[in-house]
Amino acid sequence: MTTPATTPAPVAATVTVSTGPLSPAEVVSVARHGARVELSDASLAAMAESRAVIEALVTDDKPHYGVSTGFGALATRQIPLEQRTQLQRSLIRSHAASSGAEVDREVVRGLMLNRLATMATGRTGVRPAVAQAYAGILNAGITPVIGEYGSLGCSGDLAPLAHCALALMGEGQVRTHDGGLAPAADALAAAGLEPVELREKEGLALINGTDGMLGMLLMAADDLHRLLKTADLAAAMSIEGLLGTDDVLAEDLHALRPHPGQISAASNMRRILAGSDLVAGQKEAGGNAHRFTRVQDAYSLRCAPQVHGAARSTLAHAESVAGYELASAIDNPVVTVDGRVESNGNFHGAPVGYVLDFLAIAVADLASMSERRTDRFLDAARSHGLNAFLAGDPGVDSGHMIAQYTQAGIVSELKRLANPASADSIPSSAMQEDHVSMGWAAGLKLRRAMDGLTRVLAVELLTSARALDMRDGGVDTCSSSPAIAAARRQIRKVVEGPGPDRYLAPEIEAVRVLVAGGTLLEAVEQELDSPLS
By annotation, the residues acting in catalysis are 65
HEC profile for 257-308?
CCCHHHHHHHHHHHHHHCCCHHHHHHHHCCCCCHHHHCCCCCHHHHCHHHHH
CB 243 within 8 A of CB 467: no
How far apart are alpha carbons 268 and 60 in whole angstroms?
Answer: 64
CA distance 421 to 354: 8
Q: On the CB side of 50, how many CA atoms lie within 13 Å of its CA?
A: 32
Q: Number of C-alpha atoms within 13 angstroms, CB side, residue 390? A: 29
Helix (H) / strand (E) element for 351: namely: helix 350-378
Phi, psi dihedrals of residue 78, rounded to the nearest 5°: -85, 130
Residue 181, beta-bridge partner list = 175
Q: H or E segment at 77?
A: none
Q: How many angstroms separate the Cα of 84 from the Cα of each of 59, 127, 181?
A: 11, 16, 32
Specify the DSSP class assigned to residue 98.
-
Helix (H, G, I), strand (E, B) or coil at 232: helix
